[in-house]
Every structure is written in C-alpha cells, then in structure tokens.
Structure 1
Amino acid sequence: MPPANPTATAPAILILPGLFDSDDDHWQSLWDTSLPHARRVVQRDWMEPRRADWLATLDAAINDASAEGAVVLAAHSLGCALVVHWASQHPAAAARLKGALLVAPADVERADFPDFVHGFAPMPRGRLPFRTIVVASSDDPWCELSTAQARAAGWGAEFHDIGPHGHINAASGLGDWPQGKAWLASLAAD
C-alpha cells in the first residue's frame, strides 16, 4: 500500500489583506509565496473598500476553496473585520471553516477611522463558529489592546498579545513571522 500523501488533505489558506493590500515585505505576502496551499484574496478596490464588494469577493473565494476541501483564513487589519462580517452573514458556510487567524484587527468603530472605508462599522460581536486566534500588539495605532482583547473574548477566540509591534505589518520587522505561522499551522491541524 503506498504511503499517504499528507499534503493531499492540507487545507487551503486564504490570505486576506486589509486596507491598501499587503506590500512585498509584509508577512502575508511572504506567506502567500512560501506556503504551498496559500492564495491571496484579491479585492477589486484596495483604496476605497466597500464592505459589500469585499464580502462578495471573499464569499466567492471561500466557495471555490471549500469545493476542494478545508479552508483556513489568515486576515490582517481590515481583513479581520471582513471575516467577522462574512461569518455573521453566512453562518452555515462559516461553520464549515476550519479556522481563522485574525491579526491586528482594526477598530473600525473609532471616530478617526478613515471615512473612505465604507460599511465595516459596527463590528459584529457574536461568537464565531470556527476556531479563531486573535493576535494583537500593545502599541497598535489602529486598535487599543483592550479593544482587541474584548473583541476576541466576544468572538470566542484565543487571544495573544505579542507586545509592541505596531500594526503587525511590514514596518513591524517580523519578516516571515515564524510564530504567526505556528499559530496558523495549529488551526490547519485541528
């Protein structure tokens, strides 16, 4: 009997950047090119996101990926808000996801949140129907640590404070971010 192929059942990893996409040095871009089952969800408009448009793109990507097997999401910033909105609007499909890594969730309800970002507030607060890990930074300029922690609790998510790493983006200097990859792998393995 031939040995089982462990990669045959590996979940698809959908990379969900936030506002303005992720630049080449962002951990998401590095994962997109280094993880064999990863694919970036490309939004039509990175500069003036509209929730309805982003939701439709994500829904199509999840439907395509789930036709092939299990799906794990790796979201950053506004991409985290997208995941939570999608889950609240598609509960049956959301229950089939394997998990989500939500990194540096942006506080879309802040008074100073960019007004060219349309429809992402208010943020849904209900429990997510899939295993979720929220990762936040103690000095994120787009979300207070206490807000990220409260959201994670409401979503029923595991929470990690990684200390002062800004918005956990390319400027944070995390490179390929091995710890983030380990959390993602734990979601894929469950």
Structure 2
Amino acid sequence: MTRYLVVPGRGVPSPDHWSRDWVRDCPTYRWAPEPPGPPYVAAERVAALHAAIGAASAPAILVAHSAGCLTVAVWASQHVGPVHAALLVTPPYVDPNRIPGPHETVDGFVDHVPREPLPFRSILVASRNDPSATFEQFEAYARDWGSELFDAGAVGHLDSKTGFGPWPDGQRLVRSLTRPA
C-alpha cells in the first residue's frame, strides 16, 4: 500500500490550506514532520522526513509545499529510501550562487539547495505569479531535478492566501504519480 507523506513549508499551514484537508480527510496521508510548524530548521526537517520515510517499507509518495520541496531535495541528496515519487508544489527559489554569512542560512531555508536530478519521479507545480519564484526559476528547478513541469497558471504561492482550499488539480496530480510514468 502506498503511503503519502505531506512535507510542509516553513510555517504552520492555515486551517483551510489544501494540505491540512488532505491529511485530515485521507487516512493514508500523514505529516512529515508531525506536527508541522515553525521554526524551519533544515537539518531537523530532513531528519524528520528521513524518519517518516524509514518508518515502513511500503513506498511513499511525497507531497511537498514551498520550503518542504527544499527539504525533499536535501533529503534525496543525502539519503535513500522507499520513495516512489514526489509532488513539489511552488518551491521558493534560492540563488545557487548566494553565499550565506557565518550565522545564517540562505533565505532562512537551507545552506545549499541540491540541483541534481531526484532519484524518483517528480512533478513540480509552477505558478505564473508566485512571490517566491519566477516561472523561469521553477523551470530551472524542474530541469535540474528532472521533474515534469505542471503550469498551474496564475495561482500565487498556491496557498490559502491565494484562495486554495481543496485543490482538486493537486489530487489529480498525486493520482498520476501512482501510475507508471
């Protein structure tokens, strides 16, 4: 049986966020980490994701939003595990040439965002008007990670602030990941 691990972004998803609906309404979906919330510390998030992936031998589909996509990329560069695929929703762009100061992380996320192909199938959901990344930056992530690119249109950061509650397109994309590519 496939497991679905929802990897949150930096903050606590609002009560009407699509990811909360999915975890609440589907018994095969669970948070990684549990419970989600600030502060975002990359090493802790990667460790929590690794523990969740390793908790069972059944394959997992990762559903990541925002900084959670960076967590997935870092995890994949450091670990292996039973991951079948990932849905990467509006990852924030981090300039690969930016060098953080001695006591900071890049944009509060991670010191380095891996730009190598992910070892599993992935779909990257891109927005035409996201404040955290341009469409071209989404395209660069998709190319570097070997992800299929899904143009969601002008959907902002695809969160509650931009009007996304249930998000049926996302559910269709997850279902597409359960089938062979």
State the TM-score, normalizing by the size of structure 1.
0.84
Matched, 1:100 2:91: no
Contact 2:33-2:45 at 8 Å conserved across structures: no
Q: Percent identity?
A: 35
Contact 2:61-2:83 at 8 Å conserved across structures: yes
Matched, 1:174 2:171: no
**Distance change (3 Å), C-alpha of 1:48 and 1:174:** closer
Contact 1:81-1:123 at 8 Å conserved across structures: yes
Matched, 1:142 2:103: no
Please report how far the alpha carbon of residue 164 of structure 1 lies from its aligned counterpart in structure 2 after TM superposition: 1.0
Q: Which residue of 139, 146, 149 maps to 1:156? A: 146
Instruction: Give the root-mean-square deviation of aligned CA atoms.
Output: 2.1
Contact 1:109-1:121 at 8 Å conserved across structures: no
Runs of 4 or more consecutive aligned structure 1 residues displaced over 4 Å after TM superposition: 115-119
Unaligned runs of 5+ in 2: 99-103
Q: Which residue of 120, 145, 161 maps to 2:110? A: 120
Work out the number of aligned pairs and report it. 174
Unaligned runs of 5+ in 1: 1-8
**Distance change (3 Å), C-alpha of 1:36 and 1:44:** closer
Matched, 1:56 2:50: no
After TM superposition, the structure 1 = structure 2 runs for residues 8-19 of structure 1, keeping only pairs within 5 Å, are 9=1, 11-19=2-10
Please report how far the alpha carbon of residue 40 of structure 1 lies from its aligned counterpart in structure 2 after TM superposition: 1.2
Q: Equivalent residue for 2:101?
A: none
- Greater Rg over alpha carbons, structure: 1
After TM superposition, the structure 1 = structure 2 runs for residues 67-106 of structure 1, keeping only pairs within 5 Å, are 67=57, 69-90=58-79, 92-93=80-81, 96-106=82-92
